[in-house]
Chain A
Amino acid sequence: GAGVSQTPSNKVTEKGKYVELRCDPISGHTALYWYRQSLGQGPEFLIYFQGTGAADDSGLPNDRFFAVRPEGSVSTLKIQRTERGDSAVYLCASSVTASSGYTFGSGTRLTVV
Chain B
Amino acid sequence: QQQVKQSPQSLIVQKGGISIINCAYENTAFDYFPWYQQFPGKGPALLIAIRPDVSEKKEGRFTISFNKSAKQFSLHIMDSQPGDSATYFCAATTSGTYKYIFGTGTRLKVLA
Contact = CB atoms under 8 A, between A and B. Distances in A.
Contact of B43 (A44, A93, A98): A93
A40 to B, nearest CB: 7
A94 to B, nearest CB: 11
Interface string B48-90: 0100000000000000000000000000000000000000010
A42 B45 contact: no
A102 B41 contact: no
A99 B45 contact: no
B44 interface: yes
For A55, A103, A104, which residue has the most chain B Cβ atoms within 10 angstroms?
A104
A62 interface: no
A15 B42 CA distance: 26
Interface residues of B, number: 24
Interface in B17-38: 34, 36
Interface in A4-54: 4, 31, 33, 40-45, 48
B104 interface: yes
Contacts of A103: 46
Contact of B100 (A4, A56, A102, A105): A102
B14 interface: no
Interface residues of A, number: 25
A111 interface: no
Contacts of B89: 42-43
A44 to B, nearest CB: 7
8 contacts: A31-B98, A44-B102, A45-B101, A101-B34, A103-B46, A104-B43, A104-B45, A107-B42
Interface of B: 4, 6, 34, 36, 41-46, 49, 89, 91, 95-105
Interface of A: 4, 31, 33, 40-45, 48, 55-56, 59, 91, 93, 95, 98-99, 101-107
